[in-house]
């Protein structure tokens, strides 16, 4: 159906009426054909009975003329012969009898070969006056004379009845379609009412109320499915909008303090007209604040990148042990400076591959290991424990630093949060490293937590194995 400027309700009604019209036309055609066939068979059956009756009523008079008995009107079925067209011929084709209803017209023309020889022959003929009739032929022997009896029935009454039936159908079908169209409009309006309500509700959702959701009356039907998809879309939009607001607020909060500090130091130094040493000291402070600003901005950009990545996006399979070794190589100078000893187990899992965004996971490992190295006491141990659990690879990073209090093991993942155990530690960062690391691990379908230990801190990271990993296949066999 071409696209018309109609509402969905009108289009549904038109489709409904069109389908119903086709069904009604097919049904009317079948009924018309069935009715015509039934009446035709009824006529054939009646004519056969009339032929049998007529055979019993024929007789030859003393002069050899063929007649129909005068008392046939008294017979229960014989009065039907009044309307019948009847002609009797001998085998030479001579007409022996012709009913008055024929008005002298021949019925069916000359005899045909083997006409009426087998049971009752049926055929349609057209009389001289243009009337169509169906005739039955049958051979009958009377007083030693073999004759062919032709009994005809005009098709005019049948056609008149069928014409009346057709007119009735032509009137009834449009009326039925009109009633169906009106009912279709009402049904479509009731069916689409929830969609109208959803539209009105959706029109009222703006950036200020993205938390609103569409009401789902029946979650199992098509409209319920549509509402769930729309609500899911709203949820993702709300999450993205909240992330954007949070990022903007965090950036403004973290950038405002050092910028204000830089401005204050610069203004005070200029007002004091201090000497070169004071200017140099101020510039060093400005450089230090600038470095912190740069660190904060880099952290915020990494956080934005991690938040914008979708689960499963840019994932590839790689050997995670190589990635950890690569990060340890980057931190090698700092490790040597602190005289730390890095101990790793799980050599059997050296070739285990994981499925993740390698560049993002590298940032996560870098943040965790950098924190562990930074807060570890000189000459201590940094242990890395590898283990396989189900379809995941677990990596435990344990240092001998000040540790994280139990009540802060979840708070350290909040942005710009600094543990009170590290508040006075030298080189304390902006409080974004662990937030970024956890967000990355969550994005790749993993899990990152801190476990309470007697000394130091233990960071536990679990990442999903790739389908081709040796460890994954070993678990599949189990």
Given 283, 307, 331, which residue is the final one in a domain? 307
If we measure between CA atoms, which residue out of 348, 384, 350, 390 comes closest to residue 368? 384
Model pLDDT, residue 70 = 66
* 21 and 153, same domain (yes or no): yes
- Is 216 inside a domain boundary? no
Q: What CATH number is given to the structural domain containing 350? A: 3.30.565.10
Per-residue pLDDT of the chain (478 residues; tens, 9 = 90+): 455 567 888 888 888 899 999 999 999 999 999 999 998 888 888 888 888 888 888 888 888 888 887 665 555 545 555 677 889 998 888 899 988 888 888 888 888 887 877 778 888 888 888 888 989 899 988 888 889 999 888 888 888 989 999 999 889 989 999 999 999 888 888 888 888 888 888 888 887 787 888 888 788 888 888 888 888 888 888 887 887 777 777 777 777 777 887 888 888 888 877 677 888 888 888 888 888 788 777 777 777 777 766 665 667 788 888 999 999 998 888 899 889 999 998 777 778 888 888 888 888 899 899 889 988 899 999 999 998 877 788 999 999 988 888 888 888 888 777 776 665 555 556 677 888 888 888 888 889 999 888 888 899 999 888 765 555 444 443 3
If we measure between CA atoms, which residue out of 320, 302, 323, 315 comes closest to residue 415? 302
* 299 and 332, same domain (yes or no): no
- Is 130 inside a domain boundary? yes
* 128 and 264, same domain (yes or no): no
Q: Which range of residues forms the domain containing residue 85?
A: 8-160
Residue 19 CB contacts under 8 Å (≥ 6 apart), including other chains: none
CA gap 47, 114 in Å, rounded: 20
Q: What CATH number is given to the structural domain containing 297? A: 1.10.287.130
- Is 228 inside a domain boundary? yes
* 352 and 446, same domain (yes or no): yes
- Is 146 inside a domain boundary? yes
Would you call 8 helix, strand, or coil by DSSP? helix
CA gap 373, 398 in Å, rounded: 10
* 108 and 249, same domain (yes or no): no
* 321 and 455, same domain (yes or no): yes
* 143 and 44, same domain (yes or no): yes
- Is 183 inside a domain boundary? no
Model pLDDT, residue 310 = 63
Q: What CATH number is given to the structural domain containing 149? A: 3.30.450
Cβ-contact 213, 231 below 8 angstroms: yes
CA distances from 184 to 16, 172, 348 (A): 7, 18, 71
Model pLDDT, residue 473 = 45
pTM of the model: 0.49
If we measure between CA atoms, which residue out of 382, 376, 377, 387 comes closest to residue 328? 382
- Is 206 inside a domain boundary? no
* 283 and 335, same domain (yes or no): no
Model pLDDT, residue 476 = 40
CA gap 457, 398 in Å, rounded: 6
Number of separate domains in the chain: 3
- Bridge partners (DSSP) of residue 137 are 121, 150
- Is 166 inside a domain boundary? no
- Is 344 inside a domain boundary? yes
* 376 and 457, same domain (yes or no): yes
CA gap 107, 88 in Å, rounded: 9
Residue-by-residue DSSP string for 256-324: HHHHHHHHHHHHHHHHHT--HHHHHHHHHHHHHHHHHHHHHHHHHHHHHHHHHSPTTTT-EEEEHHHHH
Given 145, 160, 175, which residue is the final one in a domain? 160
Given 160, 185, 208, which residue is the final one in a domain? 160
> Alpha helices of 125-221 — where are they, by DSSP H?
156-203
* 281 and 336, same domain (yes or no): no
If we measure between CA atoms, which residue out of 420, 441, 442, 440 comes closest to residue 431? 420
CA gap 205, 211 in Å, rounded: 9
* 333 and 282, same domain (yes or no): no
* 266 and 280, same domain (yes or no): yes
If we measure between CA atoms, which residue out of 37, 38, 77, 28 comes closest to residue 55? 77
Model pLDDT, residue 383 = 93
């Amino acid at each position: 159906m071409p696209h018309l400027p109609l509402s969905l309700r009108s289009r549904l009604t038109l489709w409904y009426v069109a389908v119903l019209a086709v069904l009604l036309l097919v049904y009317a055609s079948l009924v018309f054909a069935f009715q015509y066939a039934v009446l035709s068979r009824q006529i054939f059956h009646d004519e056969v009975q009339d032929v049998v009756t007529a055979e019993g009523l024929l007789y030859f008079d003393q002069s050899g003329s063929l007649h129909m008995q005068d008392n046939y009107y008294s017979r229960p079925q014989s009065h039907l012969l009044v309307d019948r067209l009847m002609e009797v011929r001998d085998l030479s084709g001579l007409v022996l009898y012709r009913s008055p209803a024929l008005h002298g017209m021949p019925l069916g023309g000359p005899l045909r070969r083997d006409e009426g020889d087998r049971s009752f022959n049926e055929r349609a003929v057209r009389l001289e006056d243009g009337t169509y009739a169906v005739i039955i032929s049958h051979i009958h022997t009377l007083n030693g004379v073999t004759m062919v009896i032709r009994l005809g029935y005009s098709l005019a009454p049948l056609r008149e009845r069928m014409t009346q039936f057709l007119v009735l159908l032509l009137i009834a079908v449009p009326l039925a379609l009109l009633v169906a169209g009106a009912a279709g409009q009402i049904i479509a309006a009731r069916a689409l009412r929830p969609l109208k309500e959803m539209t009105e509700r959706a029109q009222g959702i703006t950036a200020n109320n993205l938390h609103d959701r569409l009401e789902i009356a029946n979650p199992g039907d098509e409209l319920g499915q549509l509402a769930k998809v729309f609500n899911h879309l709203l949820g993702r939009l709300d999450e993205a909008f909240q992330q954007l607001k949070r990022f903007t607020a965090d950036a403004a909060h973290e950038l405002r303090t050092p910028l204000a500090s830089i401005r204050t130091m610069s203004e005070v130094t200029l007002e004091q007209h201090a000497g070169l040493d004071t200017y140099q000291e101020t510039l060093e402070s400005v450089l230090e604040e600038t470095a912190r600003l740069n660190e904060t901005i880099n952290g915020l950009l990494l956080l934005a990148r991690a938040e914008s990545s979708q689960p499963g996006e840019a994932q590839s399979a790689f050997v995670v042990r190589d990635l950890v070794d690569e990060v340890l190589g980057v931190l090698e100078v700092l490790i040597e400076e602190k005289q730390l000893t890095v101990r790793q187990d799980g050599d059997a899992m050296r070739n285990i591959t994981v499925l993740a965004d390698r560049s993002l996971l590298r940032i996560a490992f870098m943040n965790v290991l950098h924190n562990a190295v930074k807060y570890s006491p000189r000459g201590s141990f940094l242990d890395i424990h590898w283990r396989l659990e189900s379809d995941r690879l677990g990596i435990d990073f344990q240092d001998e630093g000040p540790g994280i209090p139990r009540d802060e093991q979840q708070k350290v993942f909040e942005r710009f949060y600094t543990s009170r155990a590290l508040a006075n530690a030298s080189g304390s960062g902006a409080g974004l490293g662990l937030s970024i690391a956890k967000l990355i691990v969550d994005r790749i379908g993993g899990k990152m937590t801190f476990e309470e230990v007697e000394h130091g801190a233990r960071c536990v990271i679990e990442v999903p194995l790739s389908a081709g990993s040796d460890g994954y296949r070993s678990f599949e066999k189990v």
